Amino acid sequence: MSGATPGPLLEVDGVSVRFGALLALQQVSLTVQPGEVLAIIGPNGAGKTTLLNVISGFYHPYQGRIRFAGRDRTWLRPPDVAALGIARTFQNVALFRGMSVLDNIMTGRLLRMRGNVLLDALWWGPARRQELEHRAFVERIIDFLEIQAIRKTPAGRLPYGLQKRVELARALAAEPQLLLLDEPMAGMNVEEKEDMCRFILDVNDEFDTTIALIEHDMGVVMDISDRVIVLDYGRKIADGTPEQVRKDQAVLDAYLGVAHD
Partner 1 sequence: MIYREAGQFKTSYAADQAIFPILQDRMLVTLGILAAFVVPPLVANEYWLQAVLIPLTIYALAALGLNLLTGYAGQLSLGTGGFMAVGAYAAFKLATAFPWLNILVVFGLAGLMAAMVGILFGIPSLRIKGFYLAVATLAAQFFLVWLFNKVPWFVNYASSGTITAPPRTMLGVMVTGPQATAPVRYVVALGVLALFALVAKNLVRGRMGRSWMAIRDRDIAAEIIGVRPLRTKLLAFAISSFYCGVAGAELVFLYLGSAETLAFDITLSFLVLFMVIIGGLGSILGSLLGAAFIVLIPIFLTNAPHHLGLALPVALQKQIELMVFGALIIFFLIVEPHGLARLWQIGKEKLRLWPFPH
Partner 2 sequence: MTEVLAGLVAPFADIASSPRFFAEVLIGGVAAGLMYSLVALGFVLIFKASGVFNFAQGVMVLFAALTLVGLIERGIPVAVALALTVLVMVLLAFAIERIVLRPLVNQEYIILFMATIGLNFFLEGFGEMVWGANVKRLDVGIPDTSFKVAGVLVNRLELTAAVTAAVLVTALAVFFQKTRIGRALRAVADDHEAALSIGIPLRTIWTVVWSVAGLVAIVAGIMWGAKSGVQFSLSLIALKALPVLILGGFTSVPGAIAGGLIIGVGEKIAEVYWGPLVGGAIENWFAYVLALAFLLFRPQGLFGERIIERV
Residues that bind partner 2 (CB under 8 A): 49, 53, 58, 90
DSSP 57-89: TSS--SEEEEEETTEE-TT--HHHHHHHTEEE-
From the list partner 2, partner 1, none, partner contacted by residue 107 (C-beta under 5 to 8 A by kind): partner 1
Which residues between 157 and 196 bind partner 1 (CB under 8 A)? 170-171, 174
From the list partner 1, partner 2, none, partner contacted by residue 113 (C-beta under 5 to 8 A by kind): partner 1
Whichever of 26 and 163 has its CB closer to partner 1, that residue is: 163
Among residues 14, 70, 75, 97, the one that binds partner 1 under rule CB under 8 A: 97
Whichever of 54 and 231 has its CB closer to partner 2, that residue is: 54
Residue range at the interface with partner 1 (CB under 8 A); choices 20-28, 131-139, 191-199, 240-248: 131-139
Residues in the chain: 261
What 3-state class would DSSP assign to 17?
A: strand
Residues β-bridged to residue 41: 230
From the list partner 1, partner 2, none, partner contacted by residue 87 (C-beta under 5 to 8 A by kind): partner 1
Whichever of 69 and 99 has its CB closer to partner 1, that residue is: 99
Reported for 214-219, long-range contacts at CB under 8 A and 24+ positions apart, including other chains, are 214/39, 214/40, 214/41, 214/48, 214/49, 214/52, 214/91, 214/181, 214/182, 214/183, 215/39, 215/41, 215/183, 215/184, 215/185, 216/41, 216/183, 216/186, 217/185, 217/193, 218/41
Whichever of 19 and 123 has its CB closer to partner 2, that residue is: 19
Please report, as ranges, the residues that interact with partner 1 according to CB under 8 A.
56, 58, 77-79, 81-83, 87-88, 90, 94-99, 103, 106-108, 110-111, 113, 115, 117, 120-123, 127-128, 131-132, 135-136, 139, 170-171, 174
